[in-house]
Amino acid sequence: MLNKFIFIAFICSTISLLTTGHVIRSGDKIDLNAKVNFDLKDINFGDNITYYSYHIHTYFLQKNENQVTEATALRSKFINQFEVDSCNAACGTWCPKICHWDLNMAPAGPHPIGSWGIYVPLEQVTETISFISMYHGNLTILVHPNSGQVKIDHLINGFWIKSILPLDGDELPDTEPIPPHGH
């Protein structure tokens, strides 16, 4: 019963945040109305898509001491709660278990501000998204599937908690190899 309530509350708050247009506030210059750059001309939307895993990206204004503190505290809490190890270099996009990336203290790839990320296998999606949606505080979160169609995963099939940030789709490949069997 409690899980059903949490899910309904999560959906209602997400809809509320999207309709009221919450934005990040700080002295940092971020144009939340900026055009998102990406080109999906080579992607066939009629393709069947299989989700192999998810990523959770947590964003923070890297020049805002309060947000950096909040982001690192949430990261530590998440790592401890789920006993998360660091993703190693060989892991890449597809990993055999939940793992985390280091803090990005500057924009990196398509991500316009500081961030940290978690790779989440399908069997842990519900509990990790529930956790991050309950404890994100003032931080913006992107949750996206990993299907091998990177631009679609990040820019179309992902969902946001708190605010929507303009990702730079030009920094994303159109596709990537699907994971080895068993992931």
Structural domain boundaries in the chain:
2-171
- Looking at the chain, the whole-number percentage of residues with pLDDT higher than 90 is 54
Phi/psi of residue 54, nearest 5 degrees? -135, 160
CATH topology for 2-171? Alpha-Beta Plaits (3.30.70)
Structure-token pair, residue 98: 């939940």
pLDDT in tens, 22-37: 334 344 455 544 544 4
Q: 119: part of which helix (H) or strand (E)?
A: strand 114-121
Mapped onto helix, strand or coil, the DSSP state of residue 91 is coil
Q: pTM value?
A: 0.75
Which among 128, 140, 155, 161 has a CA at the least distance from the CA of 43?
155
Name residues whose C-beta falls within 8 Å of residue 74's C-beta, 6 or more positions apart in sequence.
Answer: 58, 132, 135, 136, 137, 139
- pLDDT at site 88: 74
